[in-house]
Structure 1
C-alpha cells in the first residue's frame, strides 16, 4: 500500500492473506504438474509473464480506450478536479489523472500500474445523477483503490488463471491426444488439460473473492476519509437502481473495466452464484457502511 492517510483494514488483510496463500498454492501445484508431465514449463511461464506484464503496464491505456474516455483538464472539469484535489490532500497522496467517458451508464473506475500513472474515470451518467457529496464518496472509493494498489494486486493474483488458460489453449491447438497414437502422450495431454481447467476455475473463484474483499475495503476506507458513509451508501443505492434500467447494449460497454468499476456494470442473472461476482451484493455493502457510520457515531 502507498503511504497515505487511508485507514488500514485488518479484517481485509487477514482475508487477503488467505486468498493469496490459496493462489500461491495453485502456482506450486501447476508448476509441479508441468514438470511432472514433461511440459515446457519455462516457455509457458515466460509467455504468461509477458502477457501479465502487458496487462499491468498498459492497464490505464487499455481501460480508457475500452471506454472511449478522455482525460480532462481543470479548465474542462473544474468541479471534478476540485473534489479530487481536496480528497488527495486529505489522503496525502499524489493526484491521479481524471477522465470522463461519455455514456449514460452511471459508473466510475480507477486504474493504472502505479499511483503516479493512475487515472480516475467517471461517466457522464454518474455525474448527472449524483449530488456533490455522493460523487465525492464515489471518488474517495476510487482513490482508495489507487492508494492500495489494487490494479497491481489483482493483476498478480490472476497469474495462475492466465497460465492455466494458456495451457488449456495450447493443448487444444496442438491436438495432442486426438491424432497421436501414443497412448502415453494422449494421457499426458489429457492430464495437462484437466489440471489446467481445475487450476483456472479455482484461480477464477479466488480472484473473484479477492475482488469483492477489495471493494468492501474501498467502501470502508473511502467512507472513513470523507466521514460521510451515508453519502456513499446513497450513491450506491442510486447507481444500483439506475443500472437495472440501462439497456444491455449500453451496459456491455462497461464490461472491459467492470472488475475495477464502482458498481457492477452488468446485472447478474438470477441463476448466477455470488461466487462469480466481482462486487459484493448491494445489501452487504450497505451493511458494512452502516457499521462505519456507527463507528463514527452517526445514525
Structure 2
C-alpha cells in the first residue's frame, strides 16, 4: 500500500493572477509542493490507504451505478461461465493446428496431449454457440413487465461471457460488461457496448451489480469463479436475501458431475426443496422458455 512519502508532487493549478510555483517564495513553494497540500480527491496515495477502503467501495459502486441509471438499464439477464470455452471457429483452428503438429512429430507426448485438449475444447465450444444464441434471443425480446427492455450483462471477459455479449451485440441491443482488475490483466471482450463497459476493483461490487437488476441468472460450465458465483446466488435465494429469480444451469451432465446436489440432500446439508431453486437446460430456446415460464408463473401466482 502506498505511503505518504510516495505521494506525487501536487499539481498547482495556474489560475488568473496566481503565480506559478517557481515564482513563489522558497518557503511558500515548499508548502504548496508538500504532499499534504494535495486535495484529497487528487491524492491517489491517500485514497489507496487501507483506511479509505469504504470510500473506494463507494466509488467502485457509484461510477457503474450512475451510468446504468443514466442509460435506464432496469432489467438484465446475467450470464456466467468459463473464460476458457472458445468460439467454435477458434476451437476448430486449434484442432487443425494440433493435428498438424502431431503429424509432424507423432511420438511427442506433448503433441498427443495437445490433440486431446483441442478435441475436448471443440466439444465444449457448443456452449459458446448456446450462449451466443441466448444473447441474440434476449437482445430481440420484446416482452412486458420484468422481461421488458432486457439487457445482457456478463463479467465482460472472454469465453462464455464474450459469447453472450456477442449475441446481444449482433441484435444491436445493450451489451453490458463488468470487467475486474486482476493480477494478470483481463481485457474486455469486443462485443460490449462502449458506454456500458466497466472495470471494477472489488469482486463484491462486481457481484452486486451483476445481480442488482437481474431477472434471471444463467450458469454455463465454469471453474472456481463460476462455482463461487453459483453458490452465492443459491445461498442468497435460499436465505431470501434477494428476491426470487430463475436460475438455469446449462449442461446438466457437467453440473451433475461437478456438484452432487442429490448427495447434499442425502447428507442433510440442503433440503430437497432447495433443489427447486434451479433447473437444467441445454439449448438457448429452452433457457429462454424457462425464464419466460418462471416469470409468467410468478406473475400470475400459484
Band the TM-score falls in, shorter-chain normalisation: under 0.3
What TM-score comes out, normalization by structure 1 length?
Answer: 0.25
Relative to its length, the structure with more helix (as a share) is 1
Per chain length, whose mean CA-contact separation is higher, i.e. which structure has more relative contact order (CA < 8 Å, sep 6+)? Answer: 1
